[in-house]
Amino acid sequence: MIKVGVVGGTGYTGVELLRILLRHPGVTVMVITSRGETGRRLDHLFPSLLGACDLQFTDPAEADFSSCDVVFFATPHNVAMREVPALLDEGVRVIDLSADFRLKDVTEWERWYGETHAAPSLCEEAVYGLPETHRDAIREARLVACPGCYPTAVQLGFLPLLEAGVIDPMRLIASCGSGVSGAGRQAKLGSLLTEAGESVAAYGVAGHRHLPEMEQGLASMTDAPIQLTFVPHLMPMSRGIHATLFAPLTKEVDLQHLFEQRFAAEPCVHVLPAGVHPATRNVRGANTCQLSVAQPQGRDTVVVMSAIDNLVKGAAGQAVQVMNLIMQQPETAGLDGIALAP
């Protein structure tokens, strides 16, 4: 059995991670930490887990991860970078769901996050946790930086086009919508039902922290410079990411065949038949990305539609997919759930 610890199990990503891990046939959860909930039982905080786990939250300062094979960080940014070095020194492998190690350029990270990075030497070592592009490196990694939810949907959508060199990489556009859970579990005015319900609003238009992560990942798919215009929107739903991607075509190509061929061997990416479009309701609770591609009116713009559950393929599910690779398990172990409908 794989012995795992979870740092920060009280947010939406943390409880989703625990939901998946507790159903994984090859995993035993050993430790769950929280400063604010120390001593409280997990299933008392989240009754949805009643009957699945009776562990209590441990104070992070007192947590013993020495028996763990893997430790997950489901924490806000700036926590993992302070605690990960000690775990790595103990031989524990780490999967970080926060943004602390996603960017290779430490100066860029500090510019976007407004503070000094506490473990800059690990930024270069950390392997980016998108299995569809970094599978072999993930298997050997001791530190994996899991992608953000928007970056997962956007990068998977542009991947076949950039690899094939059939679009202008300097004119990429991503218009994306996210469910309110993407804002976290903290009490925020903008997350209230009366504020977010029955409304759609753009935010972060002048600059969003996921932008440099996306441009870094997209640049690795091609030899040419990358420029992405990214506009996120808050959607009146609890879960889901829908990304509509645009790019000018530079070559004639069978787009449907290109996408089907690129993802034919990918267990967590489904290319829909021509003319069928993805919807967030069709990936809710599942570790899958649904994609469709079109060339409207036969003009020179390709449109890709990408849908994921922001808490699963966009976070916790992808982290478990990474763990499976690291621990030499079947890649989809514990992730074979079918999307919830309705």
d(CA 69, CA 66): 8
Band (186; pLDDT cuts 50, 70, 90) = confident
d(CA 342, CA 31): 34
Q: Quick check: 274 pLDDT over 90? A: yes
Band (219; pLDDT cuts 50, 70, 90) = very high
> Is there a contact between 306 and 330 (Cβ–Cβ < 8 Å)?
no
Please count the helices (runs of H) and the strands (runs of E) in the chain. 11, 14
d(CA 31, CA 332): 23
Check whether residue 156 and residue 305 sit in a common domain.
Answer: yes
Amino acid at 312: V
Q: Quick check: 272 pLDDT over 80? A: yes
Q: Quick check: 187 pLDDT over 80? A: no
Residue 321 belongs to some domain of the structure: no
Among the listed residues 242, 243, 236, the one whose alpha carbon sits nearest the alpha carbon of residue 190:
236
Amino acid at 246: F
Check whether residue 166 and residue 300 sit in a common domain.
Answer: yes
| Phi and psi torsions of 250, nearest 5° | -115, -10
Check whether residue 73 and residue 164 sit in a common domain.
Answer: no
Mean per-residue pLDDT, 244-272 = 98
Give the tens place of pLDDT for each residue, 4-20.
999 998 999 999 999 99
The pLDDT value recorded for residue 190 is 84
d(CA 128, CA 131): 8
- Which of residues 91, 109, 125 is at a domain's end? 125
- Taken in order 101, 34, 283, 336, the sign of the CA dihedral is positive
Check whether residue 171 and residue 284 sit in a common domain.
Answer: yes
How long, in residues, is the chain?
A: 342
Check whether residue 166 and residue 299 sit in a common domain.
Answer: yes
Amino acid at 288: T
What is the number of other CB atoms lying within 10 angstroms of the CB of residue 127?
Answer: 19
Give the tens place of pLDDT for each residue, 81-116.
999 999 999 999 999 999 999 999 999 999 999 999
Burial of 114 from C-beta contacts in 10 A (0-12 / 13-18 / 19+) = exposed
What is the number of other CB atoms lying within 10 angstroms of the CB of residue 298?
Answer: 5
d(CA 101, CA 46): 29
CATH for 66: 3.40.50.720
Place of tokens 């420029």: 227
Residue 139 belongs to some domain of the structure: no
- Which of residues 68, 91, 125 is at a domain's end? 125
Residue 157 belongs to some domain of the structure: yes
Band (185; pLDDT cuts 50, 70, 90) = confident
CATH for 303: 3.30.360.10
Residue 316 belongs to some domain of the structure: no
Catalytic residues: 149
> Is there a contact between 119 and 98 (Cβ–Cβ < 8 Å)?
no
| Phi and psi torsions of 325, nearest 5° | -65, -45
- Which of residues 109, 125, 141 is at a domain's end? 125
The pLDDT value recorded for residue 143 is 98
Strand 289-294 with 269-271, pairing: parallel
Q: Quick check: 30 pLDDT over 80? A: yes
Residue 135 belongs to some domain of the structure: no
Check whether residue 158 and residue 111 sit in a common domain.
Answer: no
Check whether residue 39 and residue 80 sit in a common domain.
Answer: yes
Give the tens place of pLDDT for each residue, 55-90.
999 999 899 999 999 999 999 999 999 999 999 999
Q: Quick check: 286 pLDDT over 90? A: yes
The pLDDT value recorded for residue 197 is 87
Q: Quick check: 267 pLDDT over 90? A: yes
Which of 118-132, 183-197, 233-247, 274-288 has the least mean pLDDT?
183-197
> Is there a contact between 85 and 119 (Cβ–Cβ < 8 Å)?
yes
d(CA 71, CA 59): 15
Per 3-state DSSP, what percentage of the chain is helix, strand, and coil (rounded to 5)? 35, 20, 45
Tokens coding 110: 């500090």
Residue 170 belongs to some domain of the structure: yes
Band (193; pLDDT cuts 50, 70, 90) = confident
Check whether residue 6 and residue 117 sit in a common domain.
Answer: yes
- Domain tally, the chain: 2
Check whether residue 88 and residue 189 sit in a common domain.
Answer: no
Mean per-residue pLDDT, 166-194 = 91
Check whether residue 121 and residue 256 sit in a common domain.
Answer: no
Domain that holds residue 187: 150-309
| Phi and psi torsions of 285, nearest 5° | 85, 0
Residue 136 belongs to some domain of the structure: no
d(CA 304, CA 53): 40
Amino acid at 251: K
Residue 160 belongs to some domain of the structure: yes
Check whether residue 112 and residue 191 sit in a common domain.
Answer: no
Check whether residue 191 and residue 119 sit in a common domain.
Answer: no
Host H or E run for residue 208: none
| Phi and psi torsions of 57, nearest 5° | -70, 140
Amino acid at 41: R
d(CA 160, CA 172): 14
Place of tokens 């990411």: 241
Please state whether the predicted TM-score (pTM) of the whole model is above 0.85: yes
